[in-house]
Structures are given as structure tokens and as C-alpha cells.
């Protein structure tokens, strides 16, 4: 099966074309385009995915599904990937599978208990914890770096560990950002089974900053 994987939940603008062997679950990334620029998601994502398709030698209409990182991540960038997946799903008549971006990072770093942290801005990180088999056992959540419960994790992945190098006293392992391969691996079972995708709802983990107005200020007479 031919898949398009997208993620905009971190400063990386990520698009890749992968093939998935529905029987064995093997994932082969045919082409990927990644730019690290937190201010260019809206500009670059679609040009990058069309370029990845061109490099892979396929037309978008040959795709079987779209996989999209659903966060958690800073809202404005995160929405670019989500709405791109929704529009491609509608435009191409494809299922679009949301996956947790932290899970996609963990999928590329299995083996020992792992903490994944990404930058949530405002001096906080998004985090989740995984067991040796790569199963998420805590999170996703948003916390101050020093409040993240490390528990039995023996390694840390995700660019949050680079943004807050002193907060996590663990060996840092790759990857820093969700990769096309990791994204596809997380969704592979559902795609291979032809499961109905979950709704494309982002994991914001924070409410909008908005306060209801109080008593109106009086004007000076």
C-alpha cells in the first residue's frame, strides 16, 4: 500500500511517501522532505509532499491512505498538517489516519523504557512515556520540564530534550521529531486492517487563552 505521512506538530515540517506491506507490516520510506522551520508549516507542507511524491515517482491519486501526526503540538503549526490531511482525504477520496506524534517518535526508538518530550513553548513540554515494547504507559500530557515524571524511563527522545538539556538526566536517543517511518508504523495495523480512521481531531492539551469579560469599565465623565 502507498501512504503519505505528514507531521507539523514540532518545528519540523515533515512529509514522506512510504509503502506498507499489509501482511508483514514492513514499512519502506520511498521519499521524504523535512524542513526544520517553526514558522513555515503553512508555506512548505504541500510543496514538500508534492515533491516527495515526485521523488518517489508516484501521483497523489495512487495513494491508499494519509497518516497525519495529530499532536500534541503548538496549535497553529499543528493545524496545518491536520487540515492538509483532511483536505487531501476529501480531495483524493482517501482515509486519513491521525496518530499521536509522540508515539511516532517512540516507534523509532523501541527497546528500553523511553520518555518522549517535545517543546510545548511557554516553558513547558509535551511528553509521554513508553515501556520496553514501545507501548505508551503515561501521557500524552503537558508539564513544566522538571515536573515530567521520568519513572523507569532510561532514555529520552524528542527535541524537548535538546530545548531543555538540563531537565532530563537521561541519555538522549534519536529521533528528535516524528518521522514518516514512525508515523506509518503507528498507523500500520489500522491501515492494513482497513479500519475506519478516528476523527482528525488534534491533541491540543490546552484550552484557548480567553477570559470571559468581567464588569464593563466605566468611562470617565
Chain positions 163 to 182 lying near another protein, rule: CB under 8 A, are: none
113-144 core/surface letters (b: 16 or more CB in 10 A; e: else)? bbbbbbbbeeebbbbbbbbeebebeebbbbbe
Query: Whole-angstrom Cα distance, residue 139 to residue 71?
Result: 12
- Give the DSSP H or E segment for 4: strand 2-7
Q: For residue 64, count CB atoms less than 10 angstroms from its CB and return exposed for 0-12, middle for 13-18, buried for 19 or more.
A: middle
Residue 205, exposed/middle/buried by CB under 10 A (0-12, 13-18, 19+)?
middle
Per CB under 8 A, contacts with another protein among 61-100 are: 61, 75-76, 79-80, 82-92
Closest approach, Cβ 208 to another protein, in A, equals 4
Binding residue for another protein, selected from 27, 31, 45, 153, defined by CB under 8 A = 45
Q: Using CB atoms within 10 Å of the CB of residue 78, give its burial: 0 to 12 exposed, 13 to 18 middle, 19+ buried.
A: buried
Q: Which of 26, 37, 50, 162 binds another protein (CB under 8 A)?
A: 50
Q: Which is nearer to another protein, 133 or 213 (CB)?
A: 213
Separation between Cα atoms, residue 79 and residue 92, nearest integer Å? 19
88 or 167: CB nearest another protein: 88
The stretch near another protein (CB under 8 A) out of 17-25, 138-146, 165-173, 209-217 is 209-217
Per-residue burial over 21-39, b = 16 or more CB atoms within 10 Å of its CB, e = otherwise? eeeeeebebbbbbbbeeee
Q: Does 57 bind another protein (CB under 8 A)?
A: no
Total of residues contacting another protein (CB under 8 A): 39
Cα distance between residue 196 and residue 193, in whole Å: 9
Confirm or reject binding of residue 116 to another protein (CB under 8 A). no
CB of 70 to another protein, least distance (A): 11
CB of 61 to another protein, least distance (A): 8
Q: Segment contacting another protein (CB under 8 A): 112-120, 146-154, 159-167, 207-215?
A: 207-215
Q: Indicate the residue among 45 and 115 with the shorter CB distance to another protein.
A: 45
Give 19 or 35: the residue with its C-beta nearer to another protein: 35
Interface positions with another protein (CB under 8 A): 41-47, 49-50, 60-61, 75-76, 79-80, 82-92, 201-202, 204, 208-213, 216, 218-219, 221
Amino acid at each position: 500500500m502507498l501512504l503519505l505521512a505528514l507531521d507539523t506538530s514540532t518545528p519540523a515540517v515533515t512529509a514522506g511517501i512510504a509503502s506498507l506491506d499489509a501482511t508483514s507490516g514492513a514499512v519502506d520510506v520511498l521519499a521524504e522532505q523535512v524542513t526544520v522551520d517553526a514558522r513555515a508549516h503553512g508555506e512548505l507542507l504541500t510543496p514538500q509532499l508534492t515533491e516527495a511524491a515526485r521523488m518517489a515517482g508516484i501521483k497523489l491519486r495512487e495513494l491508499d491512505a494519509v497518516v497525519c501526526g495529530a499532536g500534541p503540538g503548538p496549535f497553529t503549526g499543528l493545524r496545518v498538517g491536520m487540515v492538509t490531511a483532511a483536505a487531501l482525504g476529501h480531495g483524493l477520496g482517501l482515509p486519513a489516519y491521525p496518530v499521536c506524534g509522540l508515539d511516532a517518535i517512540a516507534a523509532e526508538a523501541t527497546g528500553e523504557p523511553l520518555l518522549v518530550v517535545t517543546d510545548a513553548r511557554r516553558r513547558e513540554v509535551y511528553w509521554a512515556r513508553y515501556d520496553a515494547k514501545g507501548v505508551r504507559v503515561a501521557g500524552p500530557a503537558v508539564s513544566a520540564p522538571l515536573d515530567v515524571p521520568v519513572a523507569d524511563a532510561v532514555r529520552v527522545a524528542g527535541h524537548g530534550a535538546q530545548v531543555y538539556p538540563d531537565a532530563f538526566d537521561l541519555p538522549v536517543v534519536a529521533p528528535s521529531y516524528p518521522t514518516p517511518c514512525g508515523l506509518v508504523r503507528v498507523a500500520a495495523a489500522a491501515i492494513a486492517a482497513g479500519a475506519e480512521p478516528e476523527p482528525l481531531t488534534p491533541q491540543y492539551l490546552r484550552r484557548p487563552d480567553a477570559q470571559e469579560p468581567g464588569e464593563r469599565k466605566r468611562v470617565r465623565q
